[in-house]
Chain A
């Protein structure tokens, strides 16, 4: 069945050919309808093997490359979900663009002048635990007893571990609220993502996608620098990305 693989939508009237940069070397070009441009390639008739991991990674990388290029070319793009093939030829696309014209324009205008960033917050778990144990009287007491070498040391060690775990959870919550508030003041929209596994020492406690207005980027950096200086905390910033996380809203 004939179809067009669609990468993103932009607001533009001019025909653009991107060359053979699409998935599996597909020729990427634009299809227009009333001021909107869909960036597409002619989908191959064959079904891919979705279990072929390397191939799927290649596809995702190619997908990102095309969206990135369109983003640089048009300034504002609305990314479409990975591997969306719209039925039919140019007519099918025009029909879709026409039927969703108002909605697409509205989404695009909400993304104009904004960029997506990824912010990951890590903490050094041992460092934070050590600081907590030293600064909380009850924990300090347990720590001394646990290290005393007496018969109850083991029991106190267990109690300390439990109390620390609880204290760490509260501490993580406290950091989360403080950092979230700082970022929320400068970002227009925030998506809270699942923290990923880092390693034993360096745990990811927050994983956020932000939509930031161009004029607020310096403010964002300023807040992130404050966060990065917090005891035991480190920040990782990625981007700018096309607004993948904000296409649905």
Chain B
């Protein structure tokens, strides 16, 4: 089998959130407007995600999932 990256349609919301939340450079707290609850968003979403993935697997929420994936993967070419 030839290994190719999962195509856009197979990138799940879980893959996306795993990268976007709780990663990236942290800016010094004194320069940032803190918003109550934001630090918990990652935890809250991840807790909800396991169940959601299952729902998608069983054919529920598919349209919604597809919509999110499309929204998250506009454009094709990647920079070198």
On A, residues with C-beta under 8 Å from B are 1, 3, 6, 8-9, 43, 47-51, 53, 56-57, 60-65, 67-69, 71-72, 74-76, 78-87, 92, 96, 107, 113, 115-118, 193, 196-197, 209, 214, 221, 224-225, 228-229, 235-241, 244-245, 247-248
| CB-nearest residue of chain B to A67 | B20
On B, residues with C-beta under 8 Å from A are 1-6, 11, 13-27, 31-33, 35-38, 40-42, 44-45, 48, 50, 68, 71-75, 77-80
Interface pair A84/B27, CB less than 8 Å apart: yes
Interface pair A225/B32, CB less than 8 Å apart: no
Q: A69-B75, A72-B77, A228-B3 are in contact. Are A82 and B22 (CB under 8 A)?
A: yes
For residue B38, give the distance in angstroms from its CB to the closest CB of chain A.
5
Interface pair B20/A82, CB less than 8 Å apart: yes
Which residue of A60, A72, A117, A247 is within 8 Å of B75 (Cβ)?
Answer: A72
* Total A-B Cβ pairs within 8 A: 160
Q: How far is A78 from B1 in the complex, measured between Cα atoms in Å? A: 34
Q: A50-B38, A240-B78 are in contact. Are A197 and B17 (CB under 8 A)?
A: no
Across the interface, which residues of B come within 8 angstroms of A107, CB to CB?
25
Q: A83-B35, A225-B2 are in contact. Are A64 and B74 (CB under 8 A)?
A: no
Which residue of A83, A92, A196 is within 8 Å of B14 (Cβ)?
Answer: A196
| CB-nearest residue of chain B to A117 | B5
Q: A53-B45, A247-B24 are in contact. Are A92 and B15 (CB under 8 A)?
A: no
Interface pair A87/B6, CB less than 8 Å apart: no
| CB-nearest residue of chain B to A241 | B19
Across the interface, which residues of B come within 8 angstroms of A115, CB to CB?
78
| CB-nearest residue of chain A to B77 | A72
Known pairs A47-B35, A56-B41, A237-B3; list 9 more (Cβ under 8 Å): A50-B41, A60-B20, A60-B21, A62-B71, A65-B72, A69-B75, A76-B79, A82-B38, A118-B15
Across the interface, which residues of A come within 8 angstroms of B41, CB to CB?
50, 56, 60, 82-83
Which residue of A75, A209, A248 is within 8 Å of B80 (Cβ)?
Answer: A75
Interface pair A47/B36, CB less than 8 Å apart: yes
Q: How far is A63 from B79 in the complex, measured between Cα atoms in Å? A: 19
Interface pair A237/B5, CB less than 8 Å apart: yes
Q: A80-B27, A87-B32, A237-B4 are in contact. Are A60 and B18 (CB under 8 A)?
A: no
Q: How far is A65 from B50 in the complex, measured between Cα atoms in Å? A: 23
Interface pair A238/B25, CB less than 8 Å apart: no
Across the interface, which residues of B come within 8 angstroms of A78, CB to CB?
25
